[in-house]
């Protein structure tokens, strides 16, 4: 979850910046705002561009936002176990060795990110290391390694690119319609000024961006189920069940769907 939230937040910020750039492109090159074809092409270029920028910034943003420290050389038995476990799972999954990091947080959490499945980052919280046993932590690492092996960040980037395209396109389409209505109703034929038009566009992009994030989160949840299955293959089914139960019992009631996928009763907490 932390991975997708960081990605969505970065993507929204990038889209707002690119929105200003796109408006400058319109002004500099005198592009007709009413040209649907030209608008759609530019929306796609900037929409996918924003998504790709978010993807390539993902590792840097994740490390900066969480304060995670990459393990260069293990300083204790826990760090050595982390490196060895990730290395073994990465080899089994057929991917390159990811960077491994630890960040200070009381919640039991972990995430994987990166633009390349052979140059990814896997980070775990101190809360996870302190509150899970080795088998449970191994299952969580398997889940994150599966995200990398499945190319989930690339998949979500493409989905986000499509969503961004429609966010940019619809925002400008509606702002253009408002501008036309004002021109038709104004005796002097004046429409929205440049700043007013841009302000409306940015507000619409923020609103549509938040609504569109629901779509991206739904796709992300489907990938979470697949990563659960991949983690079970890498670490073992019983270890994954134990990890999901521990998360559910402590802080993650939204994992009910994952638990049911493994035949675990949310009511009784046992395998059926």
Report the pLDDT averaged over residues 207-233.
Answer: 87
List the strands of the sheet with 121-125, edge to edge.
69-70, 99-103, 121-125, 110-113
Q: Average pLDDT of the chain? A: 80
Q: Higher model confidence: residue 80 or residue 255?
A: 80
The pLDDT score that the predictor gives to residue 56 is: 86
- Is the confidence at residue 86, as pLDDT, over 90? yes
How many angstroms separate the CA atoms of 129 and 230, rounded? 21
Report the pLDDT averaged over residues 90-111.
Answer: 94
Best CA proximity match to 97, nearest among 68, 119, 69, 81:
119
Q: List Cβ neighbours of 5 (8 Å cut-off, separation of 6 or more).
A: none
Give me the active site residues, please. 144
Predicted confidence (pLDDT) per residue in 40-59, tens digit: 887 888 788 878 888 888 88
The pLDDT score that the predictor gives to residue 172 is: 85
Predicted confidence (pLDDT) per residue in 158-179, tens digit: 888 898 888 888 988 888 888 7
Predicted confidence (pLDDT) per residue in 131-152, tens digit: 999 999 999 999 999 999 999 8
How many angstroms separate the CA atoms of 272 and 268, rounded? 10
Predicted confidence (pLDDT) per residue in 177-203, tens digit: 887 787 777 666 566 666 787 788 888
């Amino acid at each position: 979850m932390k991975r997708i939230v960081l990605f969505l937040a970065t993507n929204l910020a990038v889209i707002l910046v690119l929105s200003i750039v796109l408006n400058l492109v319109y002004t500099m090159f005198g592009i007709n705002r009413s040209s649907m074809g030209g608008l759609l092409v530019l929306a796609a270029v900037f929409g996918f561009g924003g998504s790709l920028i978010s993807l390539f910034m993902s590792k840097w943003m994740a490390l900066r936002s969480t304060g995670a420290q990459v393990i260069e050389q293990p300083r204790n038995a826990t760090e050595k176990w982390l490196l060895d476990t990730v290395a073994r799972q990465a080899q089994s999954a057929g991917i390159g060795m990811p960077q491994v990091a630890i960040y200070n947080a009381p919640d039991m959490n972990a995430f994987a990110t990166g633009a390349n499945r052979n140059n990814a980052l896997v980070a775990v919280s101190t809360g996870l290391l302190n509150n899970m046993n080795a088998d449970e932590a191994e299952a969580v690492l398997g889940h994150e390694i599966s995200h990398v092996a499945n190319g989930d960040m690339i998949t979500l980037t493409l989905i986000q690119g499509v969503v961004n395209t429609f966010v940019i396109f619809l925002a400008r389409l509606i702002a253009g319609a408002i501008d036309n209505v004002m021109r038709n109703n104004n005796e002097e034929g004046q429409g929205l000024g440049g700043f007013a038009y841009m302000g409306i566009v940015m507000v619409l992009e923020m609103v549509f961006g938040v609504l569109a994030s629901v779509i991206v989160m739904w796709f992300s949840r489907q990938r979470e189920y697949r990563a659960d299955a991949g983690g079970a293959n890498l670490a073992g089914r019983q270890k994954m069940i134990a990890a999901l139960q521990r998360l559910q019992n402590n802080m993650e009631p939204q994992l009910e769907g994952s638990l049911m996928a493994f035949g675990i009763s949310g009511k009784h907490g046992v395998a059926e």
